[in-house]
Structure 1
Amino acid sequence: MPDYSVQRRLAADILGVGESRIWISPDPEHEEEISQAITRRDVEKLIAKGLIKVKPAKGNSHTRWLERRRARREGKRRGHGKRKGTAGARIEEREVWIGRIRKIRRMLKWLRDHNAIDKRTYRKLYTMAKGGAFKTASEVKQYLKQLGLLKGVS
């Protein structure tokens, strides 16, 4: 098979695709005609004749991606060998904060609604939590027990 690298390059430029996506007719009858096409106009004529075409783009299998995603949700493919980056890079600091503060606020709300703490204490603890005074909900409980602010609920 003759070397059509010039024609391939010109066709790729004209059609706006990569050289690997250019199909050139392997028919020996047109071999001479294709070989002599060295200008853009010549190549455009070959494209119009159908001797040069664009191959369809190849995509990635979405099914395999879905399978891997499902496996990750089940905890597979998450081992040390798959990890690139620090723990902070894998889970954003903000996401960690949101998870922590929601749990603390949920507990404070429960304590207030069940009359374990009064509204003033609730508001004080709420602002303390917002300021980052507590890392976990158990720290809040410990703080309440130390100051004796809990009313009969453990």
Structure 2
Amino acid sequence: FNIKNLILKNNKFNLKKKMQISKIQRRIASAILQCGKRKVWMDPNELNEISLADKRKTIKKLIQNGFILKKNPKLHSKNRKKFHQEAKHKGKHKGIGKRKGTSNARSSESVKWHFKQKVFRHLLKKYRTAQKIDKYLYRQLYLKSKGNAFKNKRVLLDYIHNAKSEYIRTKIKNERQLARHNKKTTIVKNRINKFQDKMKKIYQDKKIN
């Protein structure tokens, strides 16, 4: 029983000694390899040779010989993260319990506003260059979009479509009114001319008599 205890004590003492010896070498090796002390691997068969190395030069040689190595990083699977993100894109894991911060903090209203204005202005510019809308309608719509008259792009497109159709309708209406007015004026002018011719004839007949 006493012999067993003595053997265990000796083993523990030797381990402690080895640990103390390898502490300095581990620290220097970690500085050379640019990693943490835990990442440094030392060959257990060459501990005597490693314990003798006190300088950077000797430890560098040991690294070159392969007695001291840098451990590979532990790889963690990103599968769970990937599935979680896919679920988030679908709208899951986004309930009230998962939210932190106000709605304005989570998605700023000013950023939304700037993005919306960019979309509107880009669309209006595109339509103006393509001559789908004239400069007057462009200016009107530009100011309306700035005044928050349109909720989104679809609403703006609907408004442009309606405005164009209304413009065509008013144009046709004005043309018809002009045609009616011209017709009336020609009828009135013809009547006046006829009346004047009639009066001239009557006046000439009276002179002859």
TM-score computed with the length of structure 1 as normaliser: 0.62
Q: 1:128 aligns with which of 128, 140, 144?
A: 144
Is it true that 1:82 corresponds to 2:98 in the alignment? Answer: yes
1:64 and 1:50 map into 2 onto residues whose CA distance is: 37
- Whole-Å separation in 1 of the counterparts to 2:102 and 2:149: 20
Alignment partners' CA distance in 2, 1:59 and 1:86: 36
Partner of 2:53: 37
Structure with the larger RCO, 1 or 2 (CA within 8 Å, 6+ apart): 1
CA offset at residue 51 of structure 1?
Answer: 1.2
Compared CA separation, residues 76 and 5, structure 1 to 2 (3 A) = farther
Using the aligned pairs only, state the percent identity: 36
Larger Rg: 2
Q: Does 1:70 align with 2:86?
A: yes
**Equivalenced residues, count:** 132
After superposition, the CA RMSD in angstroms is 3.8
Aligned to 1:48: 64
- Give the deviation of 1:82 after TM superposition: 3.2
Unaligned runs of 5+ residues in structure 1 are: 107-117, 145-150
Contact 1:100-1:135 at 8 Å conserved across structures? no
Equivalent pair of 2:144/2:150 in contact (CA under 8 Å) = no
Per-residue deviation at 1:95? 4.3
Aligned counterpart, 2:30: 12
Gaps of 5+ in 2: 1-14, 124-133, 160-165, 167-209
Q: Residues 124, 57 of structure 1: CA spacing in aligned structure 2 closer, same or farther, 3 A cutoff?
A: same
1:135–1:69 distance in 2 versus 1, CA, 3 Å: farther
Residue 112 of structure 2 is matched in structure 1 by 96
